[in-house]
Amino acid sequence: MNLRSDQWYGTGDRNAYIHRAWMRRGVPSDAFGGRPQIAIANTASDLTPCNAHHRDIAQFVKNGIWEAGGVPLELPVPSLGETQMRPTAMLWRNMAAMATEEMLRANPIDGVVLLGGCDKTIPALLMAAASVNIPAVVVPGGPMQSGTFRGRTLGCGTDVWRLSEEVRAGTLSEEEFQSSDSSMIRSAGHCNTMGTASTMGLLAEVLGAVLPGLAGTPAADARLREGAQLTGRLVVEMVQDDRRPSTLFSAGSFHNAIVALSALGGSTNAVIHLLAIAGRLEIPLSMADFDRIGSAVPLLVNLQPAGTHLMDDLYRAGGLLSVLKEVRYLLDPEALTVTGRTLDSYLDAAEVWDREIIRTADEPLLQEAGIAVLHGNLAPSGAIIKPAAATPHLLTHRGRAVVFDSVEDFAARIDDPALDVDADSVLVLRGCGPKGYPGMPEASNMPLPKKLLAQGVRDMVRVCDGRMSGTAYGTVVLHVSPESAVGGPLSLVRTGDWIVLDVPARRIDIEVADEELQRRQPSAGAAAAYAKPTRGWERLYIDHVQQADTGADLDFLIGSSGSVVARESH
């Protein structure tokens, strides 16, 4: 077996002596030279509570690696806490990917187990693994246990949006709202709705990067530990057989991920993450592929926010593989997994145990549920909407724009009783794109005006160049490209303009003549609010980040640098 780590340990010179001696510290000498060195890239952190239990999971991975004859080496990597980081965790996805890639490349590592869970961690880890191209496998951290409040099950994230709107509407007291927070988060693990964390954990398995059957296992479930130990054994086998991202991932892998995204009712954030991962692998993928492949796929999984149940219900009902079996006719049967077998080969044994949770393709929750990609004079490079989370009658709508130049402008004016807005208005928020914010926050699912909530309004058309939480819902047009900060048409919209949304026709337009748009100047108020960093990561990010329609990666990180480091450090 030709091991990459032998370049560090496998010679008899002074440099090999240094590498071995400093790593010994009680480890037997036969741990070096001929035994796969396996990194465990661990995103555990007290400031990323959804991933804190990965410290426990890592021990089971280590057990499996030792059993299979490898040497486990835990490697802390940047940990992005979705609920804690300002201005938005998305600002650091690319940094986490770059840092993880460089640490894997710089060290004597033959393979890696990627421990992720919270929204940005699995995408960042997969981007890194794709670019360094050593054998890699993901262990998703799994969803938390379901909580209850007032006898009703709480969906993590989704019910934050719902309950907070009820407070603003006056139907729930502030005290009752605050008392629900201890009920919502009951255990270790990420959000238990079909938010971004759940979506990306499941799609990592569909891509072929997870031991089949493991994704979606609840964080507190003993079977997650079992799967982690089996993954430790598997990664050693992957090194021996040289199964690496470039040999496993294919266009078919991403085809299957798009089908699964629709059938699961998954997060819109998956679009931007899958585009970025594909970019690292240099596999052609565009926003148009999400509409072409996924728009007609039926929604089968009855989970919040598109349905009513939660992730532990999906696991109980049969899990991901049973969902995939229902849409098997749409999948690429040749796409591989980390085991070397096709994903399709694991579907025969899958069974559905609860049809309330996992529907058949003949009796879905929604017949056509995939992400819809919109174009028009408001989004020349595209925008997306999630019909499964929208109000059906609003998918075809014409309304007068009420424009906000920044999240601060929105917060200051949305509840002003004098705001000229009604239920038919279209809320427009700009300055939330990759460069303008910076980092593209989850601001697109704007809270509705308080005075309309009091009238019983619970959804309106909203348009934004930012993202929205995968746990959120509503008729939200997001990822508008190009963003306002780079001169996209969103920067030219004025309050009172008429906006036409036609999801069946895949259009989002502003009813303003081209000549008038060309005469207009971008909003000075928006320009004043755009990020203007002078140093550090934010400056590097703004100078090099691409637009949402290609995945918002940094331009110089597209593709792969491989695993070779030619020079010795001593």
Reference 358, options 321, 392, 391; nearest CA is 321
pLDDT of residue 230: 98
In whole angstroms, give the CA distance from residue 104 to residue 73.
Answer: 11
pLDDT of residue 151: 73
In whole angstroms, give the CA distance from residue 370 to residue 270.
Answer: 12
261 to each of 48, 205, 299, 324, 367, how far by Cα in Å?
25, 12, 9, 10, 14
- Preceding omega of 87 cis (within 30 degrees of 0): yes
pLDDT of residue 179: 75
pLDDT of residue 97: 98
Determine whether 395 is exposed, middle or buried from the number of CB atoms within 10 Å of its CB (0-12, 13-18, 19+): middle
pLDDT of residue 430: 98
504 to each of 149, 292, 299, 369, 499, how far by Cα in Å?
38, 13, 17, 12, 16
Sign of CA dihedral 297, 302, 303, 306: positive
CB burial of 124-154 (b: ≥16 within 10 Å; e: otherwise) equals bbbbbbbbbbbbbbbbbbbbbbbbebeeebb
In whole angstroms, give the CA distance from residue 301 to residue 284.
Answer: 28
Give, in degrees to the nearest 5, the angle at Cα 483 between 480 and 485. 160
Give me the count of residues in the chain: 570
In whole angstroms, give the CA distance from residue 235 to residue 113.
Answer: 7
In whole angstroms, give the CA distance from residue 194 to residue 305.
Answer: 7
Three-state DSSP state, 500: strand
pLDDT of residue 11: 80
189 φ/ψ angles, rounded to the nearest 5 degrees = 115, 170
In whole angstroms, give the CA distance from residue 338 to residue 563.
Answer: 19
Domain with residues 372-532, CATH architecture: 3-Layer(bba) Sandwich (3.50)
Residues (pLDDT < 50) of the chain are none
pLDDT of residue 7: 92
Q: Is 464 within 8 Å of 480 (Cβ atoms)?
A: yes
pLDDT of residue 54: 97
- Strand pairing partners for 42? 76, 115
Q: Where are the domains of the chain?
A: 36-146+186-346, 147-184, 372-532
In whole angstroms, give the CA distance from residue 96 to residue 333.
Answer: 33
In whole angstroms, give the CA distance from residue 92 to residue 110.
Answer: 26
pTM: 0.95
Three-state DSSP state, 506: coil
CATH number of the structural domain 36-146+186-346? 3.40.50.2300
pLDDT of residue 426: 98
pLDDT of residue 416: 96
191 to each of 9, 206, 312, how far by Cα in Å?
42, 19, 11
pLDDT of residue 167: 84
Reference 548, options 466, 454, 460, 449; nearest CA is 466
pLDDT of residue 429: 98
In whole angstroms, give the CA distance from residue 4 to residue 481.
Answer: 42
